[in-house]
Amino acid sequence: MLAELTTMRLGGPAGEYEAVRTTEDLVALIREADAAGKPVLVLGGGSNLVVGDQGFEGLVVQVATSGLTVHGERVTVEAGVEWDTVVTTCLDAGLAGLEPLSGIPGSTGGTPVQNVGAYGTLTSDLLSRLTVYDRVTGTIEQWAPEGCGFGSHRQSVFKHTDRYVVLDVTFQLTRSTRSHPIRYAGLAQRLGIAPGATAPTRDVRDAVLALRRKSGMILDADDHDTWSVGSFFINPVLTSVPDKARDCPQYPDPAGIKLSAAWLIDHAGFPRGYGHDWGRGAVALSSRHALAVTNRGDATTAEVMKFAAHIQEGVEQRFDIRLGPECDLVNCKFG
């Protein structure tokens, strides 16, 4: 069952399943399936994926590659390596830069897809290059960050397409036991420093983990607030803000104005913890994070998507803004 491979613990059976441990085998398996016209679902840690109750009829390929090499201040990581293992390995090697991204679930191949970011640091800030398999041309290519389409919030050329498979990622870090300047005010406050100051990298990691744990963003099998994909809805980026949403926190974005989806959800009448009295109580917003739609233990994907549509419709009615998913939806949709 795909529910066993996703952090939301949802999804029906796979037609076929293969865990692949080398990049060569990964490319060969996908090429073979594509040549045969077989549907393929490539996944890593399953931390940003919602799969329908009917599952996936084709081939599910779990990327389980494990290579991680340090060359001076450059670190090359194969796509299947658990992300937090990368962070701790770099800290152990005396390299700074990734510590604000501590505790994020999933595997390394997903970091450029989502342009994963937290506490003022983005993947694109530290990315040097990556290796990509293009399923359309059948070629393996080396890409610079400029080719990834980063820019607007959480966007990249990899988002919501299965054309490209990330094979490995290289980061350019700094040899130091002190962090880069801390730009996120909440993290700086937790560390007891002024925004823009630095701190010991280990202290930054500890502070980030504490903040993530407080908001239910550290995976815990016994805590249903963490049975989620993290932020289910993406912060909307608009060219103009409806008058109804004028009080919503706003941030500059290359594509316009970014609004806080969490604020919109909360002020549309859906506070943290909402949903325990909705339906049979199997789906609810996290009690610690309004953007996290959570499986309370035995939810179905159909229930999750119906609940998400309920939130989406409520926000649209209140603010004339339609929220979209930040996660990837496979064989499921709102409604």
**Cβ neighbours for 4, distance < 8 A, ≥ 6 positions apart:** none
Tally of residues, the chain: 335
243: DSSP letter? G
Token code pair at residue 188: 């700086």
Relative orientation angle of helices 83-92 and 201-214, to the nearest 10 degrees: 160
Spatial separation of the C-alpha atoms in residues 215 and 233, rounded to whole Å: 16
Using CB atoms within 10 A of its CB, is residue 177 exposed (0-12), middle (13-18) or buried (19+)? exposed
For tokens 């996660």, what's the residue? 327
Based on the residue annotation, tell me whether 99 is a catalytic residue of this protein. no
Q: What is the CA radius of gyration of the chain?
A: 20
Based on the residue annotation, tell me whether 154 is a catalytic residue of this protein. yes
Token code pair at residue 219: 């995976």
Name the catalytic one among 154, 190, 212, 272: 154
Spatial separation of the C-alpha atoms in residues 111 and 104, rounded to whole Å: 10
Name the catalytic one among 47, 156, 231, 286: 231
Based on the residue annotation, tell me whether 215 is a catalytic residue of this protein. no
Neighbours of 324 (CB within 10 A): 11
- DSSP of 176-236: -SBPSP---HHHHHHHTS-TT---BHHHHHHHHHHHHHHTT-S--TT-GGGSS-S-SBPPP
So which residues are the catalytic ones?
154, 231, 326
